Amino acid sequence: MAASKMKKLLRVAAAMGLILAAVFLSSAFAAEEIKIGGSGTGLGTMKLLAEAYQKKHPGIKIRILPSLGSSGGIKAVLEGAIDIGVSSRRLKDAEQSQGASAIEYCRTPMVFVSSSETGKTGLTTMELEKIYAGELQTWPNGGRIRLILRPEAEASTDDLKNISVAMKNAAATALAREGMIVAVTDQENVDAIAKTPGSLGVSTLTQLVSEGRQLTLFSYNGVKPGIENLSSGAYPLFRSLFFVTAPKTGEAARKFGSFVRSPAGREILQKNGALPVASGGGR
């Protein structure tokens, strides 16, 4: 009888051991996490890509952090605080020397947007130059134009300044005026545009689509912003988005990066206002 009980106890102990081992292995596998952060303009699409990837890889958890900005994301990758950075600018020499590597995975139209109807459907370069310089201050419907600006060092500000020499001067003039609304992050920028009557600001098509933002988009010099017009070269204004990794970036994160550039990932990008870059050119 004692021997029989001992055998039962041993079987129970063995079964419990197998269960505990399975739970441990399951927990260890489920704990594999990929952290992504950086430029806010690309995070909405990253969330959608992450959701699609996790459905196919249930053992992987992808966490998208609030906007860190391009510089913040690159720094966090280099320090090992996150696995992948999303950047809307090219790497600086100092960042490359520290081991950062960037792949351009998509381009998205840079767009001019407002919170409401203004009496206009499009803007020209000359009109934008006058608006930012303060020479044109009202919309055709009589409402006041309220600019939403970005900090001097932001990629959006560089994009504006690169439109023309006159726009470079006009953007600097706008930033120097007192009482202007200056949004720090991409999400704060779109929030400010949405809640300010008569607003005019700059965003990207992929952020607006992926985040479900309902804003008025203007055509630029008679061309509507869209990935078809961007692809053909008809729409000239765009923002490149880069996938940033470092020597500390693990294999799981690199596999997710491959998924972003796969046919399934490219389809998600295209549906959300981003034109995939086939070559995956490094910067």
222 and 272 fall within a common domain: no
Given CA atoms 78, 79, 84, 86 in this order, what sign does their dihedral have? Answer: negative
Q: d(Cα 90, Cα 274) in Å, to the nearest integer?
A: 18
Asked if 56 and 170 sit in the same domain, the reply is no
Q: Same domain, yes or no, for 112 and 198? A: yes
- 282 domain-assigned: no
| Domain, as residue range, for 15 | 1-31
**Is there a domain that residue 117 lies in?**
yes
Domain count, the chain: 3
The per-residue pLDDT of the chain, averaged, comes to 89
Pair (84, 163) in one structural domain: no
**pLDDT band with cut points at 50, 70 and 90 for residue 73:** very high
For the residues 121-126, what does the mean pLDDT come to?
97
Residue 246 scores a pLDDT above 50: yes
Is it the case that residue 280 has pLDDT exceeding 60? no
Query: Is there a single domain that holds both residue 203 and residue 257?
Result: no
The verdict on 89 and 133 lying in the same domain is no
What confidence score (pLDDT) does residue 4 get? 55
Contacts 24+ apart (CB under 8 A), 46-54: 46/86, 47/210, 48/210, 48/268, 48/272, 49/256, 49/259, 49/260, 49/265, 49/268, 49/269, 50/256, 52/264, 52/265, 52/268, 53/256, 53/259
Q: What is the CATH number of the domain that holds 73?
A: 3.40.190.10
Rounded-to-integer distance, Cα 143 and Cα 140, Å: 7
| Bridge partners of residue 275, in order along the sequence | 107
Which H/E stretch holds residue 64? strand 61-64
Per DSSP, what are the bridge partners of residue 178?
Answer: none
Tell me whether residue 81 is in a domain.
yes
Predicted confidence (pLDDT) at residue 279 exceeds the cutoff of 90: no
B/e letters for 157-169, b = 16+ CB within 10 Å, e = fewer, are bbbbbebeeebbe
Query: Does one domain contain both 261 and 227?
Result: no
Question: Are residue 182 and residue 215 in the same domain, yes or no?
Answer: yes
- Domain identity same for 112 and 225: yes
Do 16 and 97 share a domain, yes or no? no
Indicate if 151 and 208 belong to the same structural domain.
yes
- Do residue 116 and residue 165 come from a single domain? yes
